[in-house]
Amino acid sequence: MTNATTPRGVTILGATGSIGTAALRVMARHRDLFRVSGLTAHSNAALLGEQVAEWRPDFTGLVNGGQGMPAGWASGEEVLVQAASLPSADIVLNAVVGSTGLEATLAALQAGKRVALANKESLVMGGELVMAAARRNHGELVPVDSEHSAILQCLAGRQPSDVRRLIITASGGPFRTWPTQRIAEATLADALNHPTWSMGRKITVDSASLVNKALEVIEAHFLFGVPYDRIEVVVHPQSIVHSMVEFIDGSVVAQLGVPSMELPILYALSYPERLEDDGVARFDPVAAASLTFEAVRTDAFPSFKMGLEAGRAGGVAPAVFNAANEAAVQRFLDGSLTFGGIPRAIDAALSALGDRKLDGIASLRDADRAARSLVQELV
């Protein structure tokens, strides 16, 4: 850190979620370096209230707030952009779920802030706009996603021209070894039973369908400027190797650690420095014993395949893929769609809307809305 006497202001969008609460645990170990500028949640007023009492932020926003809300809190959809633009925030951790995070990512970058990005959906939806906003305003985009944090760490000090290939690891999710036909009939309980990571419900379902991995390939493409034919995915059930980079001389650098999001969150806050921190269990190679790797069973995970195709197609296709998936996962979570219905919904949306023209953020929001209503009608 450049100046240890002035704590850096951090705003957390989605403070009450899995990533948001992990970030506050990390920050609690480094109160001399970080303070909370703003906190937002969607509906969980009780937990947000506890966080506010502890951290005394300058701004508190509850999207689904209103009457009965504590005095001084803001409410409505606009709280995300308001919190992302706070003058006292140096870093905006975007940890909301879904493409609703896009405008806040853009607003923070436009204000020249560091965005610690967990909300991968905003980058998948608006990759070109987000990267352009970062370049134009000297904003900084630092990934929180563990795979991308790993790649960033592997790349440290290297030129883009040194890179041959990115190798993103995937746990494979709960259906890694299931017969293909059985996966379509998986229940919600099956899908929420993730083998290695404890996360919010939406990303847990995305990990079961491998949509999460397709989103991550698109995320990596934009973050690191690497073409799709040089990004590979490999299944690694232990989730110890968080990703790898192969360089032009054939050497491969990997980043390892116990599966805990506190490590990539800490790195996104401290980057490019490292902070001493004992909060997470240390990695023990002997206890880990064996690290194994397998090919992805692409045919068993049709949504994964469609996500990669949408990424390569570019334009609005990634936004349509993402929105159709968000809508379908919501239906799966509320019991009105089967697991096998998720790829059918994505397929229908991409066929109908995938080759629309990309023309600014309005065209992305239109495609996002159209994909959601198409899935709604389908169900």
Residue 14 touches which of Mg ion, ligand NDP, none (Cβ within 5-8 Å per kind): ligand NDP
Binding region for Mg ion (CB under 5 A):
145-147
Q: Which residues contact 276 (CB under 8 A, 6 or more apart)?
A: none
Determine the Cα–Cα distance for residues 365 and 374; give it in Å rounded to an integer. 14
* Residue 145 touching ligand NDP (CB under 6 A): yes
Could you say which of 35, 42, 221, 236 contacts ligand NDP (CB under 6 A)? Answer: 42
Please report whether residue 216 would count as binding ligand NDP according to CB under 6 A: no
- How far is it, in rounded angstroms, from Cα 18 to Cα 40? 13
Looking at 89, 261, 323, 329, which residue binds ligand NDP (CB under 6 A)?
261
Q: How many CA atoms lie within 13 A of 35 on its CB side?
A: 14
Contacts of 25 (CB under 8 A, 6+ apart): 262, 279
Whole-angstrom distance, CA of residue 109 vs CA of residue 157? 23
Residue 90 or residue 147: which is nearer to Mg ion going by CB?
Answer: 147
- The entry of Mg ion, ligand NDP, none near residue 17 (CB within 5 to 8 angstroms by kind) is ligand NDP
173 is an interface residue for ligand NDP by CB under 6 A: no
The terminus-to-terminus CA distance of the chain in angstroms comes to 51
254's enclosing H/E stretch is strand 252-256
Which one among 60, 119, 260, 303 touches ligand NDP, defined by CB under 6 A? 119
Q: How far is the CB of 327 from ligand NDP (least distance, A)?
A: 13
CB of 125 to ligand NDP, least distance (A): 11
Nearest residue to ligand NDP, by Cβ distance, number only? 17
Encode 224-240: b = buried (16+ Cβ within 10 Å), e = exposed: bebeeeebbbbbbbbbb
User: Can residue 303 be called a binding residue for ligand NDP (CB under 6 A)?
Assistant: no
Task: List residues binding ligand NDP (CB under 6 A).
Answer: 14-20, 41-44, 63, 80, 95-98, 100, 118-121, 145, 197, 199-200, 202-203, 261
